Amino acid sequence: MTARGFRSVVLGVAWRNLHGFFTNPALFLPAMIFPLFFFTAFAGGLSRIESVPGFHFPPGYTAFEYAFVLLQASAFGGVFTGFAVARDFESGFARRMLMAAPRRRALIAGYAVSGLVRALFTISVVTTVAFLAGMKLHGAGIELVGLYTLALLVNFSAVLFGTGVAMRLRTFQAAPAMQVPVFLTLFLAPVYVPLGLLGGWVHTAATVNPITVVLDAERGFIAGDPVKAGLAFALLAGIGALFVFWALRSLRSAERATA
Amino acid sequence: MSSTLALQIGTVAQRSVLRTLRQPAMVVPALLFPMLLLAINAGGLDSATGLPGFPTDSYLTFALALTFLQGTMFAAMSAGTNVATDIETGFFNRLSLTPLRRVALLVGQLSGVIVLALIQATTFLVVGLTAGAGLEAGPLGIPVIVAISLLSTLGFGSLGALVALRTGSGETVQGLFPLMFAALFLSSMALPRNLIEIDWFRTVATWNPVSYMLEGIRSVLIDGWNGEALALGFLTSGGLAALALAAASSALRTRMARE
Amino acid sequence: MNDRTAAAIEAEGLVRVFKKGPRAVDGIDLQVAPGEVYGFLGPNGAGKSTTVHMLTTLLPPTDGTARVAGFDILSDGAQVRTAIGAALQEAALDPFLTGREHMRFQAALHGLPRELRRQRGDDLLERLGLTDAADRKVGGYSGGMKRRLDLALALVHEPSILFLDEPTTGLDPQSRTALWEEVQRLVADRGVTVFLTTQYLEEADVLARRIGIIDHGQIVAEGTPNALKAQIGRPSVEAIPAEPDDLGRVIAVLERFGQPVPGTPRGTTVRLSGDDASLADVVRALDAEELQVEHLQLHQPTLNDVFLAQTGRSLEGARQDEHAREEAQRAAAA
């Protein structure tokens, strides 16, 4: 198969997925609403946390929470793409695609591209709302590029994770298997306060959670004072590579099952 | 109550309880998810107790009230989904062809989620108290917490049933979830109302009946016997239950289209 | 049953109009005698299920009146529901309950005493061959088992009138036959009145004493199967030429013997006219013209012919029945 053929499969799968996302309110609205809810509830309802002794984040609590909501929107955007893959297998449409595509890796690439576009859209909406709510970003151009690149790398990993789960389980009942690990990974991190202000076992869990490094790096970019950026990128590159392998192996599993 | 009516309610209730408890995918998340969030939030927001005016030095005690309300949200979805499924599969028509009275149908259908709510309330209390949450009102506070919790469940469950009866669609019932999510998040779930900094957020939380349900339960855990908080808690949960039950009953009359 | 009338089911000018929708039922008049099996035959969307829903009090009519077991469907709904049982188009079962739990549940709702609930439920499960599966959740039942359970539930309170709305749709031939036998047994042993809707000609032919054919919400023909077919009269001859180019000549020959009837791809069908015309005559005429045919068949009138004559269209069930017959013939020939 030529590169052009590979590209056409990727674009075809991505187009179909995006078309379904943007034209179906049942898919579109939750992906938009939940990050905004989290942002409103955390940044709005918890803003007093700024006054907790030991809390120090110059751009303010809204920006502090924006970093988390950015990650959450990116990660769950990936999970929702995994849902779409599961639905395709359950309805039988995935079999059609597996039979039609000469190089089936293009299907995974297509899902990844659609996940990326969805994430970009959601991030734009959340960012717009955050600015309207008075968020201040202290970071300059390159730092903001770093900020959004981190978010998109999280999305990339989440898409591949979700796609892999969907291809192995091939049913929409797989939804909790995608949601719960991502949820736990996100929330066992410094969501509301910095790591130093976390208590008990959550502090321990957050210390070993790679998402903590990513969150800290994001907040560093927002504050214009990059911290752990190199480590965050390295971790996400490693996680991304792991999930590429995971997705490809899961594709093999799906091929065997539908042969 | 006549023996026939009692028999009818009992028969429908038996089925409702059986089918609820036979769906682990419904029961397990309803128990685990609120407790998971409680554990995460208790660790993640413990430093909030350092804020001047925070009513307790244990965020676990503060957050325990939220688990009961989260349970009621699951109840609403569960009740609505069950009624919608009955309508979509035609089982509702089967029930309509028997001498079953409307009140028996509605009360019986809601019984399943009431039982689930009772199991939830018991579990959350045992886990919360074992983990170190306070119960300032002492053992006599337990039935009060359970009562507010069950009234809230009846209210939200009736809302779910109302949507199902009006639309006959499980998908529309699922659309309730973001609304309930919003109702929960735009309340005093994370901080006491007097510590919410953002004016519009505090106003919404003040008008939001969910705040008073939370505060009613919380008062038993933190204050002991706070007449005002308890009165408002019972008023809002009882009021919601009465209104939603009446609306659901009216929707049932329309759906059955008989007398 | 109320003694004021001899009919088990009667409807006069029954109409149902849906909001922003068509007149699904457009003036139905019918009478079903006690102990009769009445077949309501029509294609999808004809108004069969809507009629059943009105007669079983699930849907109020927009206009017209109907009495079931002597009770008015609008003012005496509760009495109607006591006298009837219904197995509707959806099997309408709870996948989380077992067969036995379904029976007990239904019996309890009908107010049967506890001991009788158990006994009646077990008896019906046995009669319908569901004893072995009785304690399994219905979610794991096959389609045929679900239909049988549905019928058992409709019978738990021993109704005098049974409504069956397309009871064998989607069932395999064995399950279908088993269900027919059970319905025939009910009528013979208990004198139950059965109102059966179907789109399958064979089902109506086998089970019903009288048939009402419905199309676009109106009854277009009514009578016993034989009487309806006799209205059409003569049989028809179908011919498919061996050479497609001979089609025109074959048509010309056959039209000497009767009126053409639409709906034969690659060939032609004519309804024989006159008392003397026969298949042998047609064969001789084709031979005389040296025309070879790949397929030549004599069809006795069917209910589909009745429907075709009234509406100009085939019944969908007819197409399915015919397709099944052709498949069987091809398999036999192979």
Shortest distance between the Cα of A25 and any Cα of chain B, in A, equals 10
Six-digit token pair at C19? Answer: 């909001």
Same domain assignment for residues C47 and C153: yes
Give me the pLDDT at residue B182, please. 86
Question: What CATH number is attached to the domain comprising C297?
Answer: 3.30.70
- Residues of chain A in contact with residue B40, where contact means CB-CB under 8 angstroms, are 187-188, 191, 202
C173, with CB counted inside 10 A (0-12, 13-18, 19+), is exposed
Q: Are C87 and C179 in contact (CB under 8 A)?
A: no
Compute the distance between CA of residue C120 and CA of residue B130 in angstroms, rounded to an integer. 50
Tell me the average pLDDT across C26-45: 93
- Quote the percentage of chain C above a pLDDT of 70: 92
Residue at which a domain ends, from C174, C194, C228: C228
Taking only the tens place, the pLDDT of each residue in A38-88 is 898 888 889 999 999 889 999 999 999 999 999 999 999 999 999 989 988
User: Is residue C330 very low, low, confident or very high in pLDDT (cuts 50, 70, 90)?
Assistant: low
The B residues from 203 to 242 touching A (CB cutoff 8 Å) are 205
Residue C47 covered by a domain: yes
Look up the domain containing A151 and give its range: 3-258
Which amino acid appears at position C229 of this protein?
K
Residues C273 and C133 in one domain: no
DSSP label at residue A170: -
Q: What is the pLDDT confidence band of residue A24, given thresholds at 50, 70 and 90?
A: confident
Closest partner CB to A48 (pick from B44, B178, B195): B195
Do C203 and C246 share a domain, yes or no? no
Structural domain contains residue C128: yes
For residue B141, count other CB atoms closer than 10 A to its CB: 19
Minimal Cα distance from B20: which residue of C? C96
Which residues does chain B have within 8 Å of residue C121's beta carbon, measured at their own beta carbons? none
C and A in touch (3+ CB pairs within 8 angstroms): no
Size of interface B-C (CB pairs under 8 A): 71
Report the domain count for chain A. 1
> Chain C: nearest CA to B165, how far in angstroms?
15
- The per-residue pLDDT of chain C, averaged, comes to 87
pLDDT of residue C3: 47
Q: How confident is the model at residue C276 (pLDDT cuts 50, 70, 90)?
A: low
Is the separation of the CB atoms in B102 and B249 below 8 Å? Answer: yes
User: What's the CATH code of the domain at C61?
Assistant: 3.40.50.300
Please answer yes or no on whether A34 and B197 come within 8 Å at the CB atom.
Answer: no
- B201: closest CA of chain A, how far (Å): 6
Give, for C220, the enclosing helix (H) or strand (E).
Answer: strand C218-223
CB within 8 Å: C93 and B8: no
Q: What is the pLDDT of residues C160-213, one digit of tens each?
A: 999 999 988 888 888 888 889 999 999 999 999 999 999 888 888 889 999 999
Instruction: Give which of A117, A137, A134 is closest to A220, Cα–Cα.
Output: A137
Inter-chain touch A192–B44, beta carbons under 8 Å: yes
Report in angstroms the alpha-carbon separations of C87 from A1, C5, C90, C150, C183.
56, 25, 8, 6, 12
Pick left, alpha or beta for residue C12 (phi over 0 → left; psi -120 to 50 → alpha; otherwise beta): beta
CA distance A173 to A178: 10
Residues 6 or more apart whose CB falls under 8 angstroms from that of A6 comprise: A103, A106, A109
Verify that C69 and C210 share a domain, yes or no. yes
Is A55's CB within 8 Å of B47's CB?
yes
Structure-block tokens of residue C304: 């589909």
What confidence tier does C16 reach under pLDDT thresholds 50, 70, 90?
Answer: very high
How many other β-carbons are positioned within 10 Å of the β-carbon of residue C107? 24
Same structural domain for residues C321 and C176? Answer: no
What's residue C322's pLDDT? 56
pLDDT of B122-148, one tens digit each?
Answer: 999 999 999 999 999 999 999 999 999
Does residue C3 form part of some domain? Answer: no
Q: Which of B37, B40, B184, B210 to mutate to test the interface with A (most CBs of A within 10 A)?
A: B40
Query: Residue C105's closest CA among B94, B111, B84, B88?
Result: B94
Question: A209: closest CA among A179, A241, A187?
Answer: A187
Same domain, C261 and C224: no
Q: Which tens digit of pLDDT belongs to each residue from B191-214?
A: 999 999 999 999 999 999 999 999
Cβ atoms within 10 A of the Cβ of A73, count? 28
Domain assignment present for C1? no
> Are C191 and C280 within one domain?
no
Give the residue with greater pLDDT, A90 vs A230: A230
Nearest CA in chain B to C154: B94
Partner residue opposite B90 with nearest CB, options C57, C85, C88: C88
Count: domains in chain C: 2
Domain that holds residue C97: 9-228
**Per-residue CA distances from A201 to A194, A208, C78 (Å):** 15, 11, 62
Contact A45 B189 (CB under 8 A): yes
Residue A176 is predicted with a pLDDT of: 81
How confident is the model over A238-250, as a mean pLDDT?
96
| Percentage of residues in chain B having pLDDT higher than 70 | 98
Average pLDDT, chain B: 91
Q: Does residue C82 share a domain with residue C29?
A: yes
Chain C residues touching B19 at Cβ < 8 A: 94, 96-97
Crossing angle of the two packed helices B59-89 and B102-130, in degrees rounded to 10 = 150
pLDDT tens for residues B86-126? 998 899 999 999 989 888 999 999 998 899 899 999 999 99
Write down the pLDDT at residue C6: 79
Domain coordinates in residue numbering, chain B: 3-256
The whole-number pLDDT of residue C4 equals 45
